[in-house]
Chain A
Amino acid sequence: MNLQVLAQVNSFLAALVLLTAFAMLSQRKINSLVTLFAWQGLFLSINTAVVGFVASKHHLYISSLLTLSIKVILLPYILHVLVVRLKIRKEVETIVNIPTTMLIGIALVIFSYHLTAPVREMSTLITRSTLAVALATVMIGLLMMITRKHAVTQIIGFLAMENGLFFAATSATYGMPLVVELGVALDVLIAAFIFGIFFFHISTTFDSLSVEQMESLREDN
């Protein structure tokens, strides 16, 4: 395959990552949210492998496999089990309505595009244009965490941010050194372990996983 086609595949996958980010932002059902998250991880993993192939950076294959196993298989599985175990069926409530969040999301994409302009201009990599998408994914993950009241959605937002960061590393520099990638993956795993414990604590203490009830610690009390 020639480089041109691969570059197109790369940007197409980037577009799909962005699309899944927005789809997650618009999704109300937690189950679908988990599925979307897995899709995002899958696109990311394929993209990493493609970039690894284009740049002939073999450690990216390892990162790709790591993403595949952790973010596509393991984490969605854990989340799914938790959702079933904790009997979460209610639709997610949002603080800001969905169309508005979408508009904010679009604004964030444009913002990221401008923010990454200096990097794009300096970079010579074929993946340079996807950095804006990566930052946008981070921002949208952040937005999701802010505008959703449910603990599981907040976690998915957090993990989506992590996806975006991983993507950023791939597109800006063809991946961080392996030791860092592994360390970050380890941190994500520990975080997964911790939020798993948390879900149980929250649901037993508050009777539901809605973060709304958690507002006793405020300044105006």
Chain B
Amino acid sequence: MKALTLIFIEILQAIVVIALAPAFAGWVDVLKCWTQGRTSAGVMQPYRNIAKLFVKDVVIADNASWIFRFTPYLVFGSAVVVGSVVPIISMNLFLAPSADIIVVIAIFATARFFMALAGMDIGTAFGGMGASREMMVASLTEPAILMAIFTVSLAGRSTSLLHIARAFASGALVLRPSIVFAGIAFVLVVIAETGRIPVDNPSTHLELTMIHEAMILEYSGRHLALIEWGAMIRFFLFVTLGIACFLPWGIAVTDNAGDIATSVFLMVIKLGIAGAVLVLIETGLAKMRLFRLTEFLGAAFLMATLGVIAFFILE
């Protein structure tokens, strides 16, 4: 019975993640439009985009290999897998014990690896360029994100997301410099990882400045839909991952339906706020030159390292 409930919550969370991710992306777009004084297309626009793409035909280049066809499913699947293990609405998930934070990062990295392969698969110039840029960004973000996560796991005494969230949620509210540093680093990394300004521009149509978009230029139809959807889930997950690590208060600890409802409600509020913060950062900054990225991500890495150091020195 117990196990059944857990599985039920698990499925519930997975559905919530898959369903809510486009809404979150839409929310961020809406906020962005507002801050820039434009009329928005509404929160539901990403759903319409996805739906539209699903009904379109898929066009695949003649020289595309199985990697090209396989990647969209992998990207989407990996996002869903991660979405079902991260404590988002409840800490009592069936799969939660397997949610080691390093594994989560590795799953994302796998998806990214295949994405880069697919980008190069067709052999067009933009695909290859996008792939190489993406890998450059990845090589800089991954150390930073691991450092940030190490700080958190040092404080939570575990690399399991569940334990970290529990340790934080149950502990007293304390002013920990290490967590603050790690938090800042995490925000910087999320910006880079999810391809937001100032690292990448998700809505760009100028090929020369593209990173993520350049890789998926050759995709169409349902493949593109899956990739876009996967990217949205990924964005959503990074934000929830941050919430689980740095602001876990309010995530349900019991299987109680009421608790879960509160948890969902709080989560929506937190996401709304997180989205607003991201938008503020995005509108406040101009996109960086590609070669300035090393400094941006270097700062993230520095912050994360300072977090680790502060943990040892000051706590």
- Contact flag (A, B; Cβ within 8 A): yes
- B175: Cβ under 8 A from any A Cβ: yes
Q: State whether the Cβ of A88 lies closer than 8 Å to any Cβ in chain B.
A: no
When distances are taken between beta carbons in the complex, the residues of chain B under 8 Å from A110 are: 309
A5 and B302 CA atoms in complex are apart in Å by 27
Which residue of B is nearest A106, CB measured?
B305
Within 8 A of B (CB), among A12-27: 12, 14-16, 18-19, 22, 26
Q: Is A75 close to B, CB under 8 A?
A: no
A56 within 8 A of B: no
A15 B314 Cβ-Cβ under 8 A: yes
A130: chain B residues at CB < 8 Å are 313-314
Main secondary structure of the interface of B (DSSP, over half): helix
Chain B contact residue count (CB 8 A cutoff): 20
Nearest chain-A residue to B309 (Cβ)?
A109
Q: Are A99 and B177 in contact (CB under 8 A)?
A: no
Q: Which of B5-13, B228-236, B241-249, B292-300 is near enough to bind chain A?
A: B292-300
Closest-CB distance, B133 to chain A (whole angstroms): 18
B-side contacts of A14, CB under 8 Å = 177, 314
Closest residue of chain B to A19 (Cβ to Cβ) is B306
Q: Are B298 and A129 in contact (CB under 8 A)?
A: no
A11 at the interface (CB under 8 A from B): yes
B309–A129 CB distance below 8 A: no
- Say yes or no: is B55 at the interface (Cβ < 8 Å to chain A): no
Checking B294, B298, B310 against A15 with a beta-carbon cut-off of 8 angstroms, the contacting residue is: B310
Q: Which of B295, B298, B305, B313 has the most CB of A within 10 A?
A: B313
Q: Are A99 and B313 in touch, CB under 8 angstroms?
A: no
Chain A: minimal CB distance from B285 (Å) = 15
Number of A-B contacts (CB under 8 A): 59
Asked if A18 and B175 make an inter-chain contact with CB atoms under 8 angstroms apart, the answer reads: no
Inter-chain contact A129/B314, CB cutoff 8 Å: yes
- With both beta carbons as reference points, the residue of chain A lying nearest to B307 in the complex is identified as A15
Assuming the contacts A8-B174, A11-B315, A12-B177, asked whether A18 and B310 have C-beta atoms less than 8 A apart, the reply is yes
**B181 proximal to A (CB < 8 A):** yes
A13 to B, closest residue via Cβ = B177
Q: Is the CB of B175 within 8 A of A99?
A: no
Q: How far is the CB of B99 from chain A (nearest CB, A)?
A: 29
Contact status A11-B298, CB under 8 Å: no
B34 at the interface (CB under 8 A from A): no
- List chain B residues, Cβ under 8 A from A16: 177
- Please pick, from A5, A11, A99, the residue contacting B314 in the complex, using a CB distance under 8 A: A11
The CA of A72 and the CA of B314, in the complex, are separated in Å by 25
Chain B residue at minimal CB-CB distance from A15 = B177
Residues of A within 8 A of B181 (CB): 15, 19
Which residue from chain A places its CB closest to the CB of B315 in the assembled complex? A11
In the complex the two chains form, is A99's CB within 8 Å of B298's CB? yes
Contact across chains for A18 and B295 when beta carbons are under 8 A apart: no
Q: B180 in the interface, Cβ–Cβ < 8 Å?
A: yes
Would you call A9 an interface residue if the criterion is a C-beta within 8 Å of the partner chain's C-beta atoms? Answer: yes
Smallest CB separation, A205 vs chain B (Å): 34
- Say whether B312 faces chain A, with CB atoms less than 8 Å apart: yes
- Say whether A132 faces chain B, with CB atoms less than 8 Å apart: yes
Q: Are B302 and A106 in contact (CB under 8 A)?
A: yes
Interface hits, A69-109 → B, CB 8 Å: 98-99, 102, 105-106, 109
CB within 8 A of B309: which of A26, A98, A106? A106
Interchain residue pairs with CB less than 8 A apart (16): A8-B175, A11-B314, A11-B315, A12-B177, A15-B180, A19-B306, A26-B295, A102-B298, A102-B299, A102-B302, A105-B302, A106-B302, A109-B306, A113-B312, A130-B313, A133-B313
Given A11-B310, A15-B177, A109-B313, output 7 extra A-B contacts at Cβ < 8 Å. Answer: A14-B314, A15-B180, A15-B181, A15-B306, A16-B177, A102-B299, A130-B313
